[in-house]
A = this chain, B = another copy of it.
Amino acid sequence: MTDLYEAMSTLRAVRRLRPDPIPAEVLERVLQAACWAPTGGNMQPWRVIVVRSDERKAKLQAVYEPEWQNYTAANRARLEQAPLGADRDKLARTLAAGDHLAANLAQAPVILMFCANPKFMAITDAHLDRISMVGGGSVYTAVQNTMLACREEGLGCTLTTLHCIQESKVLEALEIPEGWATLAMVPIGYPVGRGHGSITRQPPSALAFDDAFGVPWT
C-alpha cells in the first residue's frame, strides 16, 4: 500500500481514462473508502450512484461536454493570445486533457455521481448573508476519500461539478428523486498515460496564517 502522504501528494486530476472495466473488488474498496468519511452527526446524508450503463453515461456526457466548452471559452481565447512559453504550454495541455475528458466521458468505465439531501444536514451557514457552503462538509470528505482510494488502486479520477449547471437533466437521467442534490461527478478508470504523479500546489507558507488572518505562517 502507498503511504498516506505519498497518496495525497501525487493525487492529480487524471482526465484520460481507458475504457477497461474496473474489477468488482477494486470498485468495492473505493466505495468503502467513501463510506468511512466523517459526516455531521454521523448522518451520512450522501449517496453515490455508480453509473455504468452506456445510455446513462451518454446522457451525462451530453450535459457535461457543452458546459466544459462554455467554462473554458475564456481560457481558449487567452491561449490564442498568450506568448509562447512554459505557461502557455501548460494551459494548452490542461485544456487538451479536459477536452479529451469532455469528448470521451461516456467511455469512462464508471462515473460516480455523489448526491446529498440537505434535509439530513444541519447547515449552519444557511441563514447568513453570503452563499452557503457548509452543506458540502458532509459530502466532500467522502469524495476526497474516494479519490485517494482511486490513487491507491491505480485508478485515474477527477472531481467535476460543471454538471450542476444543468442539474435538472442529471436528476432525470439518473432517476434522482426530489429533495436530493448532485454535488460531485467523478469519472474513474485506469489511466491512458502515467496517471497520478507530481502536482503543483501552494505551500503552507502561502495558505496558512498564524493566529489571525493575514499574519504569515513561518
Contact = CB atoms under 8 A, between A and B. Distances in A.
Interface string A162-199: 11110100000011110011011000000000000001
A149 to B, nearest CB: 7
Contacts of A51: 211
Contact of A183 (B122, B137, B176): B137
Contacts of A47: 207-209, 213
Contacts of A50: 208-211, 217
A211 to B, nearest CB: 5
Contact of A36 (B28, B177, B201): B201
B137 A38 contact: no
Size bracket of the A interface: 35 or more
A167 B37 CA distance: 25
Nearest to A141: B144
Interface in A110-131: 115-116, 118, 122-128, 130-131
A205 B148 CA distance: 20
A18 interface: no
A162 B136 CA distance: 14
A118 to B, nearest CB: 5
Given A118-B131, A132-B133, A133-B116, A124 B175 contact: no
A213 B32 contact: no
Contacts of A208: 31, 34, 47-50
A175 B33 contact: no
B201 A35 contact: yes
Interface in A24-53: 28-29, 31-38, 40, 42, 44, 46-53
Contact of A71 (B42, B122, B133): B122
